[in-house]
Structure formats: structure tokens, C-alpha cells
Amino acid sequence: MRVGIVGASGYTGAELLRLCAGHADLQVVVAGADTQAGQLAANLYPSLAPAYPDLALSTVTADDLHGLDLVFLALPHGQSQQLVPQLVGKVGVLVDLAADFRLRDPQLYPRWYGAEHRAPALLDDFVYGLPELFRARLQGATLVAAPGCYPTAAALALAPLVGAGLIEPSGIVVDAASGVSGAGRAPTPTTHFNSADEDFRAYGLLDHRHTPEIEQAVGAQVLFTPHLAPMNRGILATCYARPASGAWSPPTTESVLGALQQAYDAEPFVVVSEAAPSTKATFGSNSAHLTARVDPRTGWVLVLCAIDNLVKGASGQALQCANIALGLPEQAGLSAVGIYP
């Protein structure tokens, strides 16, 4: 199948190139990049040289993508809204990795993203691409909005417990730390090596734009605080919730772990265990590692999830969704096993 990647020069675009190189059914024929147009992908990312020795990055238009079997959009927020209306019905499957079509309510975009949505009529046509929670809708889908990295970790941790009625759907706290690659390839004053190294900071206090997406995916109210950790990759989400009131019996560590195990028992990319999850264990993989505890002393329910923010949190999940939508083996081109050390 012929594949186009728009935004191929960024970290998620480069990760898509890497993953597609290991996929027997996909061939990247278009690699779009504005600021790096004219460069060989192998020169910008030497790690890609064995698979793409001659692939040139280029400026692309919608016409260059028409007729492709699969198109990934790995663009900054806001740019997909301009391009998507020109691609609907013109490509086989379109997977957008930005936040442009993740939220169902168009009124949330001015509040959290600072601008009116420019294609609100298309929001309901997109399937939210978190396979472990919404796989049935992905089958045969032609428009997919791949989730954000923080919402992926939070939703995998919390959604089964909210759905099972084990925790209160309000007052949930999500503290999550991400590696610096989550901020993108372009350096900023806070992601420059001298700023990020040996530092750990919170940001987006009370107003991070992933908050409504987490609430939409989990089906609950959350207080979300992201943190920047001095590592290249990875997300560790630590979630706190109160036991559901009116339950026949209060939840226990065994019952919340059991709910997670029941929800994900057949999932190839989710590991539920008693061990505390580690970002290093997920490095380079499309897997999520989870655990849970109930503290009898304070009454809080604690759920943790670790993922690689560029794989399960972005490009790997986008490819997983594409596989499902195209009727290909869901695990094609993806590894559940991380790289260690």
C-alpha cells in the first residue's frame, strides 16, 4: 500500500518512517516537510539511512496525496484543519496525529487551543484512535484522530475503572511526566539541553490543552498536571481517584488490578502487573505497562501507566489504528517488546 507522511521531518514523522520501514505491506512514497524540503531523510535522520537511502523530503500539496492508500498527518496543531477538507474522500485512510479532530465539541477548541475550529462539520466523522477502548469503531474507518500521548496513558489507566464503577468520575488527579521529545523537534528555551538536563518541572498548570481530551476519553472530570522530565522518551502517568460511593464493597488492590486485567487480557500491547511500571521498559515499543493499588489508610485508588510517548503515545498508535482500519494484522510493523538498556 502506498503511504504518504506529511510532517516527516519531525520526531513523530521520523518515527512513522521507522515503523513503516518494518511493515511488509506499506511503502512510503511521499514524505512531506516544509522547513526541511530538499533534504534526504537519511541526512536528517541517519538512523533511517538503511531503509530510505534516496527518499527526499519535499513540500507537498493535497494533490500530491490524492489516491494514496494511507496518509499520516504529523503536523503542528491547526495545520490539519486546512488540509483535511481537501483529502476527505481522496485517500484511502487518513490518520491525523495532531489534536485538530480529537475533540467532539467544537466549542472546546477556542477555550483550550485559542482559536475557532475551521472544519467543525468534520469532527463527528473522525474516529478517536485508541484501539484498546474504541477498536470496533476503527474497523473500516477512513478518518482517524490519533490520541495525544498524555491522554493515551491517562485513558488506559482510568477508563476501565470508571467504566466498572470502581472510582468516582470526578475529582480525579492525573500527574504525568514526559520526555523532552514530547515537545517536538524545534528547540525552545525550556527544552534546550542546558534547560532540560538535570531539571524536572511542571507546566500548563490548570490549563493544559490535553485536559478536555483526557476527560472525553475517560468519561470523567480530571485535574491534569504535566511535567517535563530530563529524558528523551517516555511518559509515566500517576493517577489518583476516590472509590465510588454507594458501592457494595470498597475497591481493593486485587479488585482494581482485576478490572485492569479483565479489560486488557486480550490486548497485545498492554501489560498489567503488580510491578510498578517503568518508562525504560516501554522504550521503543508500542506497549503500555500498568499497575494499580488501593491505599486502605487514605482511601485513595492509585493507577500508574508507562508508555513511550513517540510510539504508543503517537506514531505507533497511529500505525496500529491504520492497520485496523485497513484490515491488516493489528501488530504489523509494531513491537510489544521494548529496547533495554
DSSP string, 160-185: HHHHTT-B-SSSEEEEEEE-GGGG-S
149 is catalytic: yes
Among 20, 149, 239, 321, which one carries the catalytic annotation? 149
Please give the average per-residue pLDDT across 211-229, as a whole number. Answer: 98
Task: Please name which of 221, 178, 186 lies closest in space to residue 202, comparing C-alpha atoms.
Answer: 178
Domain 149-309, CATH: 3.30.360.10
pLDDT tens for each residue of 264-275? 999 999 999 999
Question: Is residue 79 left, alpha or beta, with left meaning phi > 0 and alpha meaning psi from -120 to 50?
Answer: alpha
Which pLDDT value is given to residue 247?
67
- Residue 34 CB burial class (10 angstroms; 0-12, 13-18, ≥19): middle
Total-model pTM: 0.97
Which pLDDT value is given to residue 246?
76
What spatial distance separates the first Cα and last Cα of the chain, rounded to whole Å? Answer: 34
Indicate the fold that domain 2-125 takes in CATH. Answer: Rossmann fold (3.40.50)
Please give the average per-residue pLDDT across 44-53, as a whole number. Answer: 98
Distance CA 14, CA 316 (A): 11
Which pLDDT value is given to residue 206?
97
Give the start-to-end residue ranges of the domains of the chain.
Answer: 2-125, 149-309
pLDDT tens for each residue of 143-197? 999 999 999 999 999 999 999 999 999 999 999 999 999 999 888 989 989 999 9
The percent of residues in the chain predicted with pLDDT above 90, rounded, is 95
